[in-house]
């Protein structure tokens, strides 16, 4: 009887597997950021009203790659992430970055977490409570022993055009506007407080649940407080300038115009 031929799988795993990523690269070009993105993972973060909030983040993890190496080890990013259990606590972000630096032998490590954030909002006239969702993002970088953290909050608001109100006999055109606020600070800034800064700077805020008496209230309040897109970013900037913990900010606003086939945009950056 002829001996059985050796299984291809056994043949491949019998010896040492090649490590192509660790091979030298002849092009001698360093890469600023290489890694994985589009990961979805449960996270837990502090909630001003309810102590903690659980949500799902879309995550990107990156390191720098020296010019001597051909590639990075992508699986190690997932190893670092899963080493913290099946739920990431946001307070662990510095630990995750340090672990990335060690495991991937990198000088610089980056992590981005973007997630929906939910707040209960009470309608202004009826008092009915609805759940509003916002988008928040944490962007953190460890470079050597230095740590950098940026909070981003994206919120929609209502704006009423002051020019339209001034020249129109009846009504004024209004639109939904998206504000993207990025902050660096010496102390943690609550996501809820960043949302309030944005909403208090607009003609009006949005709600998930409105009855007729609420619609009357919010539309009349917005009409009485018209703002251009320029007013919106300036109003936010004034509030941030007065904040004792904010060291840098970038605020962008985009009006999805209701009577034009284009959008209006404004941006202020300071710090």
CA distances from 76 to 36, 97, 100, 103, 144 (A): 10, 12, 8, 7, 19
Enter the DSSP assignment of 24.
Answer: B
Examine the domain organization and report whether 218 and 189 are in the same domain.
Answer: yes
* pLDDT tens column, 118-172: 999 999 999 999 999 999 999 999 999 999 999 999 999 999 999 999 999 999 9
Are 36 and 78 in contact, with CB atoms under 8 Å apart?
yes
Examine the domain organization and report whether 140 and 215 are in the same domain.
Answer: yes
What pLDDT was estimated at residue 1? 52
Global pTM?
0.89
CATH number, domain with residue 222: 3.10.270.10
Spatial neighbors of 139 by CB under 8 A, at least 6 apart, are 110, 111, 112, 149, 150, 152
Examine the domain organization and report whether 181 and 96 are in the same domain.
Answer: no
Q: Which two tokens stand for residue 87?
A: 């739920």
Q: Please name the residue that has the structure tokens 């009855």.
A: 211
Lowest mean pLDDT among 65-74, 159-168, 218-227: 65-74
Beta-bridged to residue 182, according to DSSP, are: 152, 250
Q: How many domains does the chain have?
A: 2
């Amino acid at each position: 009887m002829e001996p059985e031929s050796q299984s291809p799988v056994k043949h491949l795993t019998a010896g040492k597997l090649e490590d192509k990523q660790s091979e030298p690269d002849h092009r001698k070009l360093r890469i600023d950021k290489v890694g994985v993105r589009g990961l979805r993972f449960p996270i837990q973060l502090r909630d001003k009203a309810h102590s903690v909030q659980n949500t799902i983040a879309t995550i990107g993890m990156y390191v720098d790659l020296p010019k001597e190496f051909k590639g990075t080890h992508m699986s190690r990013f997932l190893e670092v992430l899963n080493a913290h259990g099946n739920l990431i606590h946001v307070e662990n972000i510095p630990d995750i970055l340090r672990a990335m630096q060690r495991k991937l032998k990198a000088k610089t490590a980056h992590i981005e977490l973007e997630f929906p954030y939910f707040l209960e909002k009470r309608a202004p006239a009826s008092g009915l409570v609805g759940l509003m969702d916002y988008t928040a993002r944490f962007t953190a970088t460890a470079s050597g022993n230095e740590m950098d953290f940026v909070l981003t909050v994206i919120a929609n608001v209502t704006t009423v055009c002051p020019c339209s109100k001034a020249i129109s006999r009846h009504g004024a055109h209004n639109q939904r506007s998206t504000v993207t606020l990025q902050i660096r600070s010496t102390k943690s800034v609550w996501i809820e407080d960043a949302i309030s800064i944005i909403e208090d700077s607009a003609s009006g805020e949005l709600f998930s649940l409105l009855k007729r008496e609420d619609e009357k209230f919010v539309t009349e309040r917005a009409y009485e407080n018209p703002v251009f897109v320029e007013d919106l970013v300036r109003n936010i900037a004034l509030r941030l300038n007065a904040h004792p913990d904010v060291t840098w900010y970038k605020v962008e606003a985009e009006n999805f115009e209701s009577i034009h086939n284009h959008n209006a945009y404004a941006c202020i950056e300071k710090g």
